Structure 1
Amino acid sequence: MTQPPPAGGWPDPASTGQPSTPPADPTLPVSAQPAVPPQPTGYDPGQPADPYAATTSAPGVPLAAAPYPQAGYPPQPGYGYPPPAYGYPQQTNSLAIVALVLSLIGIGSCITAPIGAIMGHVAMRQIRERGEGGEGLAKAAIIVGWILTALMAVLIVGWILLIAFAILDSSTTV
């Protein structure tokens, strides 16, 4: 045997506790339809728009833990600051690119390698000061530039020694 529904109908388990409205009767004109009470929107005009805006209390009563740092206190991590901006590309220092290109061209020309290494040092300083990207490019320019400069210096010293021995050998045999 089933029991009759309670007065007002069965409660809706998904209901928010507000009284339910009967469905509209399509046979009645619009003016004869029952009045529909306004649904709650979550906005209460009596409350401030920002729930953290009312941070004052009665004198002598301490405030609850504030979500944002108070003036005069050091900022606490995670409060009031946006999360770190991961994924945003940094602007690459153009001097670092030029320094690497000059260092690599130094393989064939030998004169641009030390210029590229020096420009790499200048680019590293700019990157630290400006917070730009391209630190790896500048380091590569420094390393490649100074290695090629050292190889060029060894080659020049070798040529000088070879010429000196050739001159000494030619003067003793004649």
Structure 2
Amino acid sequence: MTTPTWGQQPDEQPPPPPTQPYGQYGQYGQPVGQPVAPPYGQPVGPPQPYVFTPPAPTNGMAIASLIVSILSLTACVGATGFIGAILGHMAKGQIRRNNEQGGGIATAGVIVGWAGFALFVIGVGIIVAIAIFAGESYDDCYNDYGAYTC
């Protein structure tokens, strides 16, 4: 015979255990009898320190390429644009080799440089054409007194 607990008669059976309110699954969808995971994750460990990695440097030749190309348009009417374009091509090679930044700047220097030089060549061509046309149409058959002699 078992020893009665407080509030029980000596030959009375203990009451059945309470039923689970969620059926065979617990509150978080876990089967009854297994540990329930907390609703939020546990921290894994101490936070890792922040490591600052500086960005790759910008290629100086790319910057020089763009500056020379722009100056060739404004100050030299495009005559030195080929220098800016060549600097841009050299800068693009350095950027690929050294893993630097400034590829867009170098490309802009190449485009502006060649465009400025092309405008210069077109302008010189127009001036030469005008000079040739003016030389052919010039009538030099007058003497110093205004008389027509050829």
- Specify the TM-score bucket, using the shorter chain as the normaliser: 0.5 to 0.7
Deviations 1:69-90 (A, max 9, x none): xxxxxxxxxxxxxxxx997421
The reply to whether residue 130 of structure 1 matches residue 85 of structure 2 is no
What residue number does 1:106 align with? Answer: 72
Of the three residues 93, 96, 103, the one matched with 2:59 is 93
Matches within 5 A, 1:33-72: none
Change (3 A) 1:120 1:173: farther
Question: What is the distance in 2 between the residues matched to 1:166 and 1:86?
Answer: 68
Deviations 1:102-129 (A, max 9, x none): 0000112123211000110000001001
- Paired residues, what number? 91
- Aligned-residue Cα RMSD (Å) equals 2.4
Does the residue aligned with 1:114 lie in a helix, a strand or coil?
A: helix
What residue number does 2:13 align with? Answer: none
Q: TM-score, normalised by structure 1?
A: 0.48
1:105 maps to a residue whose letter is L
Deviations 1:46-80 (A, max 9, x none): xxxxxxxxxxxxxxxxxxxxxxxxxxxxxxxxxxx
Question: What is the distance in 2 between the residues matched to 1:160 and 1:120?
Answer: 30
Larger radius of gyration: 2
Higher relative contact order (CA 8 A, sep 6+): 2
CA contact (8 A) 2:85 2:114 kept: yes
2:66 maps to a residue whose letter is L
The reply to whether residue 148 of structure 1 matches residue 116 of structure 2 is yes
5+ residue gaps, structure 1, are: 4-84
5+ residue gaps, structure 2, are: 1-5, 7-50, 143-150
Q: TM-score, normalised by structure 2?
A: 0.55
The reply to whether residue 170 of structure 1 matches residue 131 of structure 2 is no
